[in-house]
């Protein structure tokens, strides 16, 4: 297929394709981080993850409308406000859900799957009743659309770079919170030994609630960011849920680093294959490879050594 093209053409495509892979990588990391915290650290199988993302997307849509009506001069920068609001909204809903539903199920992790699946259906219908069944279009400020002309033939999508930057920032913050802050130490202590953590004076209930809220809040930010590249509708969350679980499970549930490594390998495989094969075939081969690897290594790429 490359016979007819010049070297510079191919070079440009290689560069753009590299970026396409990196953008996909950022998207995967961003959508999986929240789940990695909830599923990896707390063992809760949160099937409603996609719906928390879409809550963030709807918050962004509402912010965009509100800003256009109330303060049009703010429009170019509204996206940052929207992301903060999305974090707060999804985080708050997450904490509420934890209090009402999840905290009763910590001893029955498989039941969280059913409970959160039900929750996802409830949320979908709620969005449909509140915002209507049709998709909504989120308007973006002019500077976030279009592409950056690196050379004559290389164009890099601006929203892709925005997602990359955001992903790096959030990853750093999450790592800081979990591994350097004292609260993060409490989280990890509760994960490793709930009874013991309680015995040394950690308020495990509070830690659980905030951890769940943090995971959902990050999902909200991801949803907000994805309004740039995807659709916003009541069931749009379903588009992400499979890929999200795939990334987290393949990486090794309890390991944040594993999540990132797995997002990287899946996204690179996917985008390279997509270039040489068709979209559907690329997906099939990627999934088959993951299944094969998980058969050999059921614990995923990286696993914490835990004494059973």
Partner 1 sequence: MSDETKPGLPSPLRRKLLMGMAALPAMSMLGRPAFADVPATSAVNTTGLAVTDSEVTVGILHSVTGTMAISETGSVEAEKLAIEQINAAGGVLGRKIKFIQEDGASDWPTFAEKAKKLLVNDKCAAVMGCWTSASRKAVLPVFEQYNGMLYYPTFYEGLEQSKNVIYTGQEATQQIIAGLDWVNKTKGAKSFYLLGSDYIWPRTSNKIARKHIENHLQGCKVVGEEYFPLGSTQFNSVINKIKLTKPDVIYAIIVGGSNVAFYKQLKAAGIDLSKQTLLTISVTEDEIDGIGGENIAGAYACMKYFQSLDNPNNKAFVPAFKKMWGEKTVIGDVTQAAYLGPWLWKLTVEKAQSFDIDKIAAASPGVEFKGAPEGYVRIHENHHLWSKTRVGRAKADGQYELIYETADLVEPNPFPKGYQ
Binding residues for partner 1 (CB under 8 A): 5, 9, 13, 16-17, 19-20, 23-24, 27, 125, 128, 132-140, 145-147, 149, 155, 157-160, 226, 228-236, 238-240, 270-271, 274-275, 278-280, 282-283
In the bound complex, what is the minimum distance in angstroms from residue 235's beta carbon to partner 1? 5
Strands 147-149 and 155-157: antiparallel
In the bound complex, what is the minimum distance in angstroms from residue 135's beta carbon to partner 1? 3
In the bound complex, what is the minimum distance in angstroms from residue 161's beta carbon to partner 1? 10
In the bound complex, what is the minimum distance in angstroms from residue 279's beta carbon to partner 1? 4
Distance, first Cα to last Cα, the chain: 53
- Between 85 and 138, CB nearer to partner 1: 138
- Between 235 and 255, CB nearer to partner 1: 235
Query: Is the separation of the CB atoms in 283 and 266 below 8 Å?
Result: no
Which uninterrupted H or E stretch holds 148?
A: strand 147-149
Query: Is the separation of the CB atoms in 204 and 190 below 8 Å?
Result: yes
Q: Look at residue 106 and give its three-state secondary structure.
A: coil
Distances (CA, A) of 151 to 101, 146, 155, 158, 159: 53, 15, 7, 15, 18
- Between 186 and 262, CB nearer to partner 1: 262
In the bound complex, what is the minimum distance in angstroms from residue 139's beta carbon to partner 1? 6
Query: Is the separation of the CB atoms in 210 and 95 below 8 Å?
Result: yes
- Between 196 and 288, CB nearer to partner 1: 288
> 47-71: string of b/e by CB count within 10 Å (b at 16+)?
bbbbbbbbbbbbbbbbbbeebeeee
CA distance 175 to 218: 13
In the bound complex, what is the minimum distance in angstroms from residue 90's beta carbon to partner 1? 19
- Between 181 and 278, CB nearer to partner 1: 278
In the bound complex, what is the minimum distance in angstroms from residue 20's beta carbon to partner 1? 3
Residues with Cβ within 8 Å of residue 291, at least 6 apart in sequence:
none
Give me the residues paired with residue 136 across strands.
232
- Between 255 and 267, CB nearer to partner 1: 267
Q: How many CB atoms lie within 10 A of CB 204?
A: 17
In the bound complex, what is the minimum distance in angstroms from residue 211's beta carbon to partner 1? 28
- Between 57 and 197, CB nearer to partner 1: 57
- Between 89 and 241, CB nearer to partner 1: 241
């Amino acid at each position: 297929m490359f016979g007819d093209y010049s070297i510079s053409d191919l070079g440009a495509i290689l560069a753009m394709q590299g970026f396409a892979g990196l953008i996909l990588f950022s998207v995967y990391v961003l959508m999986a981080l929240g789940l990695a915290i909830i599923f990896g650290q707390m063992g809760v199988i949160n099937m409603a993850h996609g719906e928390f993302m879409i809550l963030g997307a709807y918050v962004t849509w509402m912010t965009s409308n509100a800003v256009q009506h109330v303060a049009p001069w703010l429009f170019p920068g509204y996206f940052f406000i929207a992301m903060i609001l999305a974090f707060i909204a999804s985080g708050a809903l997450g904490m509420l859900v934890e209090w009402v539903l999840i905290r009763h199920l910590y001893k029955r992790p498989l039941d969280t799957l059913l409970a959160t699946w039900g929750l996802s259906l409830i949320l979908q219908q709620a969005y449909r009743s509140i915002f209507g069944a049709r998709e909504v279009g989120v308007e973006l400020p002019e500077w976030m659309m279009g592409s950056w002309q690196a050379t004559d033939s290389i164009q890099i999508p601006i929203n892709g770079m925005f997602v990359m930057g955001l992903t790096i920032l959030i990853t750093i913050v999450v790592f800081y919170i979990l591994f350097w802050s004292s609260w993060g130490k409490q989280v990890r202590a509760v994960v490793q030994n709930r009874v013991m953590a309680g015995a040394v004076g950690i308020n495990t209930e509070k830690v659980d609630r905030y951890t769940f809220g943090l995971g959902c809040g990050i999902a909200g930010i991801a949803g907000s960011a994805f309004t740039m590249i995807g659709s916003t509708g009541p069931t749009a969350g379903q588009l992400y849920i499979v890929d999200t679980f795939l990334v987290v499970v393949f990486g090794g549930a309890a390991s944040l680093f594993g999540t990132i490594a797995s997002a990287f390998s899946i996204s690179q495989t996917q985008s390279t294959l997509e270039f040489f094969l068709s979209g559907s075939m690329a997906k099939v081969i990627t999934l088959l490879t993951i299944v094969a690897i998980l058969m050999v290594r059921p614990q995923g790429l990286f696993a914490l050594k835990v004494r059973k």
